[in-house]
Structure 1
């Protein structure tokens, strides 16, 4: 949970209230309260949870006050204008005399705005979209609408699916006209990320994978004139490997380094209990990706979404979702000849079970790379990255530790470092009462990690990938790999 987003949304809610834009203010308040509720569920400190709950209560009271003001104003608007003609005494109508003129405001009474008339506007101004440029100075608006639903005229007067709506700061905002606004809001709020904040230096080893991803995503944006025709960028990249080797980290690093909008998709994002809605979500996802291009769509555990078709246990709804995903991926691809590579939509996928993926999807993911277990050099680098904020004793030999953890995945090595860094704290609080533990200062617990701590940790934590699993990955890559 990004705490800066909570602060920004609370600030926006109060600013909108001060500016008299009560509809948007209520939306921001409700969004902040939901974010705090989710944040409280992830906390383990009871005292901290109580403080967040108190803050949520105060924001709820502010929201209720704004609602009261809004209700009062709506009651004034709903009063019908007084008919001046009705208040005047009856007079005999002389056909030779013109009647007095009727005031302009009584000729065509303006329809009264009901309180629920701003529902659509509220949905479009979801708190999750505040970074797209809808600030307190006004709302993002479309210039005009074309006849067909879902099309909006942009500044260049070209009809475009999903309309180009500009916010006050110039950022594009997707216009979901023609789609269910709830679906648009859920995709925007849950999976759009402009800066995952993971860099190449945060990932140890895997130089071959980094080189390929730079060539597939980053270089086409730096050298658009070169990547045309037969040298067009790849449609998609499939990362194959054991669990915990850094596939998700690589995808986030791609989005960070090349500044693309990052869509982090899982099977739960694209499934719905209503018939036909899952296919709409897939189509809407790719519409939004084209609109926010350059874009990276990362589909984690893609075998759960697009397994082999035609099996006996396949459901009809699952087959429709797979077909829609394949159709949309054919329409995305790399930039074709004459297209602008800055409009690139790159599909990255990761899986631990490549042999379960549908053959048609495997064809569309043109580059299939193997993310192996870390090498000896990679293990040393991983140890350094994980222990950069920890004090190490002089007897710690990272090269020796790297030899002992051969066959460990990146996630396993992280667990080893985490457990070893807590050994000193465990020795310090052993035998102490809860009151004595709470009285300990931070400096008393900041003891360096020794070689003995790693030795004890390695006796408890074993590797999670077997040799038989590695043989299966290597056999699949030998048959279908495309590096």
Structure 2
């Protein structure tokens, strides 16, 4: 059974349970639990924990449905004393329990003259209930007291099933919405579009090398969620992390991994998001961003190329509107208006920023980004890991040597290595279509184009794709991180 079928069967089970068809609901629940039991012992620890958590939640729902079914069965069993009590009534009281004679109930004039069939069907239980209240028979009173109690239990159990379904629907569909009262509706919608609702699907294992950066990001985002009692006071989580390094070294990829792995609400913000042509609206957007972040907490706000938003203040080229936006951003990042040193880590808002020009960032912003880490060019080992990650999508010939290729890529960034692999994968296709007409190219089958990538292809790609970062640039980054780094 595929994951899609499991999801559909869970939905069907919940719908049958809410409609009162508990037998069918239990069939679906039991089938889903049996199928999911195969996934409870996978090798991946993270996936195993997730499967066990989902299995437990569905098992709780199935137990609620079983309780409802047992309650309904008790109604059938407990109806026999009520019938016995009816037969044991005295003759004069027995008339009360008999069906009412139509001649005794005369229709009242006016709007109540026409009565529906539903009303006539419900007269008997109403008369019985009124008779049980008036009658002197103690056994009937006890039965009437027990019946509302059991009915209340049944309603509570049904409500619990509905609440569980509603909670799961909210978690699946993320229906928690920010109340934008007092703000322009368009501004709220613009920021909500920048919430990454879909999983970027980038794992820590998809990023080669950069162990120090991954360790720090886990400490800043993941550990406070797991150990909230520890990360309080002076050990409060980091409010800001700045990733510095040359282009193509994996800064944005690390941010996507945070969004995938850390299960926090993730805002992906750019300079265009916080820019408006109307006076004063950009500052409102910054304030609204942080208010929404506190509402959806725990939250990570990722600002790529932050130097474009908060460059050094006081320069001759600086515009007045830009200065106001920077001031509001600094105020919000300092925690004014909601954040405190002893707040719950589950309500934290962390700013994750990346830049290729750290020397252009304002000094006050640099102080607020408490952790400043350097994302360097990959080492020889890192380049080899990157090659093997890219090799997963390629069919390679037997002569391809990843260690040798990595050794020849000294000074290449992660993006450069990906470009080399991409160019090498196209070499075989270029040789195959050389000299062919457009019509012949269109008629080529998949088998004709299915050719492995050879070592010669990589050597040719290395000659075509040069490194994009110079030695002087690396020296400049290393000098800045030596002076201002805090990793």
Query: Into which bin does the TM-score normalised by the smaller protein fall?
Result: 0.5 to 0.7
Partner residue, 1:264: 268
Per-residue deviation, 1:193:
3.1
Alignment of 1:310 onto 2:307: no
Correspondent of 2:285 among 274, 281, 296: 281
Alignment of 1:426 onto 2:430: yes
How many corresponding residue pairs? 321
Alignment of 1:385 onto 2:389: yes
Contact 1:261 1:296 in 2 (8 A): yes
**Distance (Å, rounded) in 2 between the aligned partners of 1:211 and 1:327:** 28
Correspondent of 1:375 among 373, 379, 388: 379
**Distance (Å, rounded) in 1 between the aligned partners of 2:273 and 2:211:** 31
Alignment of 1:468 onto 2:472: yes
Alignment of 1:479 onto 2:483: yes
Per-residue deviation, 1:249:
0.6
Partner residue, 2:201: 197
**Distance (Å, rounded) in 2 between the aligned partners of 1:264 and 1:301:** 11
Partner residue, 2:441: 437
Change (3 A) 1:239 1:334: farther
Greater helix fraction, Structure 1 or Structure 2: 2
Correspondent of 1:180 among 177, 180, 184: 184
Partner residue, 1:16: none
**Distance (Å, rounded) in 1 between the aligned partners of 2:352 and 2:291:** 17
**Distance (Å, rounded) in 1 between the aligned partners of 2:349 and 2:198:** 14
Change (3 A) 1:351 1:420: same
**Distance (Å, rounded) in 2 between the aligned partners of 1:183 and 1:347:** 20
Question: Any stretches of 5+ residues in structure 2 without a counterpart?
Answer: 5-161, 163-169
**Distance (Å, rounded) in 2 between the aligned partners of 1:336 and 1:444:** 64
**Distance (Å, rounded) in 2 between the aligned partners of 1:429 and 1:268:** 43
Per-residue deviation, 1:192:
3.8
SS in 1 for 2:334: helix
SS in 2 for 1:173: coil
Partner residue, 2:50: none
SS in 1 for 2:180: coil
Per-residue deviation, 1:434:
0.9
Alignment of 1:298 onto 2:302: yes
Partner residue, 2:127: none
Deviations along 1:11-62, whole A, 9 cap, x unmatched? xxxxxxxxxxxxxxxxxxxxxxxxxxxxxxxxxxxxxxxxxxxxxxxxxxxx
Change (3 A) 1:304 1:270: same
Alignment of 1:234 onto 2:228: no
Partner residue, 1:17: none
Deviations along 1:59-91, whole A, 9 cap, x unmatched? xxxxxxxxxxxxxxxxxxxxxxxxxxxxxxxxx
Question: Any stretches of 5+ residues in structure 1 without a counterpart?
Answer: 5-136, 138-165
**Distance (Å, rounded) in 2 between the aligned partners of 1:391 and 1:246:** 25
CA RMSD in angstroms comes to 2.1
